[in-house]
Chains A and B, each alone.
Chain A
């Protein structure tokens, strides 16, 4: 396949040979990835393995030093900044590892922000945002400011914000990092369920907790997949900026039922 060819039809997002460095420190080296339509793809890796950089490159927030990123048939790596911002605003959703809410806005206004940014009327934006907050169990916090919310509530608001405009692709960069363990599974389940019921493709990063040396005498873990992803179609692993598990640890999403992992 030549470098100029657009991705196959069933890949919604497609990147090849991504190289990215932060002021000289290499973050990604030769990463190629294809994301299928409506799948939940997990990118696992230790801290500093380049998960966030990969997500930022794929979402067009960061321009890679080398390589290509295609969204459907749009080349993100050469798109003009204005067009890229518009595309990201309308088609992509983003949840970070911290809620990153605007502190001056109430929860519902934060959740409605993507709609307001794309010029939807205030009334419609409010209604949609309230629906999503309700769906994520934070409907009663709608009129409070982020400072008055618990961290888990803030993160739920951030998730509502990333889904409110029905994006095509949702980028979730360790969305459960600020949460306690019992909340993680619930939040992830809500997120993936919402994404599946609306046909949203999800790219999720997760810490790879099993990369640490085990204490002597303990049994090897049966499963190398991150234990907190309830519903994932595929899991890829990033190590030092390279994708190691080149394909899927489970089979492709079309062949099997989604694998469920317990927390």
Chain B
């Protein structure tokens, strides 16, 4: 009950974060139900249905990542002190976070079920002159256990991940010393991307030129793409750290110093979500370059929207957490007479420099990845 009261009383931005989670969960739920619908429509041919179900894993992972980021952000620092004073320890806070995650995710699943049933015509007849039910097994009965299992999958995954991420840990004893030299993940990222490109090129030898999405997505090509995506995820922390190094190099002034050092300190936390966003941007660009409008369909668009939305949302929420933690520091800087404009300029640099570093990488890797399939 406390969790529900807290959800009801929180600020609009916190509500917006939860709404984002609910919408994303709804999207994933709908995709899962769509896979079920396809399987019901093609009972004798389980292969493609299984592939569709497996593709749902990517949006599922994205929404779980977003849900964990949102759960880490809530309750805010202010609320946390209040709850702590009221006797709710770290375990209680973790439980609270798990409950509010479950509420958002279940809301999303319910939304997905409602939309699914509506489009199938189970609620008030087939909408859109009956054309909406295509591919949703509109004229077949829906197996209840399978539907429930699929709908409960995203909430369960999110709650488990949240509980794991927020379980109380002993605090780190001493902060580690500043690292120097190239970022640790950079060689791994480069190696994975290079391997991925090679694997893809090797697998694409036998494919006919200008192959469409159906025949072009051979296992080897997909494996190469997965390797490239993993490399780009690893490139996130490296790029964040490099951006911090670049900003603080060559006699930095106050703005560059503040922007760069915070990036360096945040590289561990923010780097992951930034890497995922990079990988997502690369996949979207590559898919668009290769297949363009051929891929457009209700399910692919929804899936892409969920993945992109979750990746952007996770970066936004994680950056917000850092901002909240630095509120005291920012206040102290204002005490020194630092203007609001200066703090904003530092924040803008923190966004712009990693983006400028990663953008050419994404463009170049996307070009290289399309070469074997178009050539």
| Chain A interface residues (CB < 8 Å from chain B) | 59, 61, 81-82, 85-90, 92, 94, 96, 100-105, 109, 113-114, 116-117, 119, 121-123, 145, 147-148, 161
Contact = CB atoms under 8 A, between A and B. Distances in A.
The 8 closest A-B pairs by CB, nearest first: A89-B337, A100-B332, A104-B261, A88-B337, A116-B254, A122-B251, A85-B339, A147-B175
B135 to A, nearest CB: 52
B262 A104 contact: yes
Given A96-B332, A102-B332, A109 B257 contact: yes
Given A89-B338, A96-B335, A119 B253 contact: yes
A213 to B, nearest CB: 27
A113 B336 CA distance: 8
B101 to A, nearest CB: 29
Contacts, number: 74
Contacts of A116: 253-254, 257
B359 to A, nearest CB: 25
11 contacts: A88-B336, A90-B337, A104-B265, A105-B258, A114-B337, A117-B342, A122-B252, A122-B253, A123-B251, A145-B178, A147-B175
A100 B328 CA distance: 7
A82 B339 contact: yes
A261 B338 CA distance: 36
B373 interface: no
A119 B255 CA distance: 10
Contacts of A148: 174-175
B334 interface: yes
A235 B33 CA distance: 75
DSSP majority for the B interface? Answer: helix
A145 B336 contact: no
B84 interface: no
Interface string B262-285: 101100000000000000000000
Nearest to A143: B178
B336 A114 contact: yes
Nearest to A144: B177
B184 to A, nearest CB: 19
B254 A94 contact: no
Which of A82, A96, A100 neighbours the largest number of chain B CB atoms within 10 Å of its CB?
A: A100
Contacts of B178: 145
Given A61-B335, A94-B335, A100-B335, A117 B329 contact: no
B174 to A, nearest CB: 7
Which of B254, B258, B264, B333 neighbours the largest number of chain A CB atoms within 10 Å of its CB?
A: B254
Contacts of A96: 332, 335
B331 interface: yes
A25 B328 CA distance: 22
Contacts of A122: 251-253
A22 to B, nearest CB: 15
A102 B329 contact: yes
A117 B337 contact: yes
A117 B336 contact: yes
Contacts of A114: 336-337
Which of A82, A102, A105, A145 neighbours the largest number of chain B CB atoms within 10 Å of its CB?
A: A102
A85 B342 CA distance: 11
A86 B265 contact: no
A89 B337 CA distance: 4
A161 B341 CA distance: 21
Contacts of A89: 336-339
Contacts of A105: 257-258, 261
Nearest to B266: A104
Nearest to A171: B335
A100 B253 contact: no
Contacts of B254: 113, 116-117
Contacts of A119: 253
Interface in B129-180: 174-175, 178
Given A121-B251, A148-B174, A148-B175, A103 B265 contact: yes
Interface string B29-44: 0000000000000000
Which of B174, B178, B333, B339 neighbours the largest number of chain A CB atoms within 10 Å of its CB?
A: B339
